[in-house]
A and B are shown apart, each in its own frame.
Chain A
Amino acid sequence: MRKLYTMLMLSFLCVNISCVKDVDFNQADQLVLTPTLDVSLVNSSITQNDLVVGGVELSTPLRDSSSITLLNSSVARENLERVVLRFEIENEFSRSFRIVFTFFDQSDMATINPIVLNVGANQTNFTQEEEIIIASNSDFLNSTRVEVSLELLPSTDGSVLDANDPRTFTFKSSGTIYFRTN
């Protein structure tokens, strides 16, 4: 009886094993995921009134910032390959602007060179892209805060902003984030 069991079990196993041919499950080791995410980042819309205080134009840049914690995750730190930042600006003002986009770490040190956008007067279709390759900018992964400063540049023809003028300056940004997981 014991021989019968052994024979039956071996037959069963042989049938099962022999049925699968030319298959290699180790191929799964080749799996590479390369998701690419389009993500909105920072937007803003200001009027000329925001740049005039007490009838006087601001002479210092407007600054605003936010913490960001996305890069703290292990998924991002281990698999982020590059980021392409895209900026779209609609400047209805008859004045030029300089916008500086800066990423800081916890010690308030810039993690990459600040991204500078020089937007001309009445330039309503300004676009610019900046690529950050992580392999050559690994400090970027330490970013915990982003700051965007808007600086109204001096008038070249002596004109001044009219606080009652409803024209707007619109700033939009997005990131295309490239991951690669092995």
Chain B
Amino acid sequence: MKKFYLVISLLVCVKVGSQNKKVLYGFDKIPQGLLVNPGAETNYKYHVGVPVLSGISTDVGVSGFRIADLFRDDNINFNDKLDGVLTQLENNDYVHINSQIEVINGGYQINRRDYLTAGFYVEFDVFSTLPKDLFVLIKEGNAGFINKSFDLSDAEFNADLLGVLHVGLTRKMSDKLIVGGRLKIYSGSVNATSTGNEGTFTTRQGANSIYEHVFSNLQYSGYSSGLYDADNEFDLDQRGGLFFGSNLGLGFDVGFTYRYNDQLEYSASLLDVGFISYSENTRNQFLSGSYTFTGLEFQYDGTNPDYWQNLNDELDASLPRSENKESYTVLRPIKLYAGAKYSFGKSRSEQFCSDISFNDYYDNAVGGQLYSVLTPAGPRFALTGFYERKFSKYLNTKVTYTVDDFSYSNFGLGVSTNFWKMNVYAIADNIFRLTDIANANNAAFQFGINFVIK
């Protein structure tokens, strides 16, 4: 259990960040950009990422409240702050955590058309709705909520810890079109999934009892792998391997970049179309049905049955629960990027060069990007506008403005530097909240070092 808390604490400490790599997408031909669009342009012969440091990304987003709302050191009682947060939560609020650490990454230009990449990264991903009704029921109880239907269908959860081995190919089909694909072999280490839950719980005035407690159309399913031992005791030591472990899956990414003319290009990518089949140390639980409880009905007929046991029997019949250790399959969260980019402002120092790519020819670019991810609670969207400015062949920057579920005031900044044969990039999201991240609804950071040979 301590290990579990340690893992969670560490992840929170490094501020595991958002999954939407909006700044990285299409930015300065950074090698890791191929992971968000395998059809992105490359202009180097090969690249090698510095092991463990080539791609570190974290992203955390919480809609409905901010960490500071709960944990600001302001001498306000924590319970009062929790009440405030629960009041402002809405049923569609959620929390999302994603973190990736690239262990190894490299690429090689096979010929003038093809660029081959391969690598391995570890990903931690959590999505959870914030089911307000369930939180209120647990915290307050049902007293004071007579006739209120607590909606239990808002509880959706998915958490994954996995390793991803990938091989990709980017092909320049023509001067206008670049396409790419990437094959991924997932190795799931830990998973917990509970989706498709349904049902309500209502307490109301009874006719032949003071109260009636109505469980209506309950539908619960919970799947887990790597969390419990054979005795169903919680134990993270049961997790599977991150590299070709017992829980394997397959997936792919595809993407393209289409240059409409010298200045305008379109691009799009579809990532993580795939699945993981979990079969190691699984534990799955289910419950469904409807039941109305009005109390124990004493008959006074001399038989004096075991009313309590009868109640349990009725519950088991009306709300059947079951458990198994069968394997199950979880789809990866499919992500979609689409963007348009308009470059302008010719570089005086480079306009007469004949061997530079079209993007190098311009110092400025503006554009827009759409991002969508398929979560257990349905698709989520983000819209980004950006301005990219190349100050020299050594320094490129990108500024983004994003509107999503978390914020309408999210400005991101990316800096990519190229000295000698080394590319170093650093990206931060929500930069105006950087001085006080706890007061932000989301934060994301990316950082990496690569050796790039042109």
Contact = CB atoms under 8 A, between A and B. Distances in A.
Given A8-B449, A40-B213, A20 B300 contact: no
A97 to B, nearest CB: 12
A43 B209 contact: yes
A66 B307 contact: yes
B138 A35 contact: yes
A40 B212 contact: yes
Given A32-B79, A66-B306, A16 B15 contact: yes
A10 interface: no
A176 B203 CA distance: 13
Nearest to B80: A30
Interface in A7-29: 8, 12, 15-16, 19-25, 27-28
A156 to B, nearest CB: 24
A118 interface: no
A64 to B, nearest CB: 4
Interface residues of B, number: 58
B408 interface: no
Contacts of B211: 38-40, 174
Residue of B82, B137, B210, B301 most packed against chain A (CB within 10 A): B210
Interface in A86-115: 86, 88
Interface in B134-162: 137-144, 146
Given A43-B297, A44-B299, A68-B308, A16 B445 contact: yes
A65 B14 contact: no
B447 interface: yes
Nearest to A30: B78
A45 interface: yes
Contacts of B352: none
A38 B295 contact: no
Given A25-B71, A66-B307, A43 B298 contact: yes
Given A37-B143, A172-B210, A174-B210, A19 B296 contact: no
Interface of A: 5, 8, 12, 15-16, 19-25, 27-28, 30-46, 50, 62-69, 86, 88, 148, 150, 170-174, 176-177, 179
Interface of B: 13-15, 53, 56, 67-68, 70-74, 77-79, 81-82, 137-144, 146, 203, 206, 208-213, 293-301, 304, 306-309, 424, 434-438, 443, 445, 447, 449
Given A5-B53, A30-B77, A41-B295, 14 more contacts: A16-B15, A19-B436, A23-B67, A24-B72, A35-B139, A36-B142, A43-B294, A43-B296, A64-B299, A64-B300, A64-B304, A66-B307, A66-B308, A148-B298
26 contacts: A8-B424, A8-B449, A15-B434, A16-B445, A19-B436, A20-B437, A22-B73, A23-B68, A23-B71, A23-B438, A27-B78, A30-B78, A31-B79, A32-B79, A35-B137, A35-B140, A35-B141, A37-B141, A38-B143, A38-B211, A39-B211, A40-B212, A43-B208, A43-B296, A65-B304, A172-B208
**The 8 residue pairs across chains A and B that have the minimum distance between CB atoms:** A40-B295, A35-B141, A66-B307, A174-B210, A36-B143, A30-B78, A64-B298, A24-B73
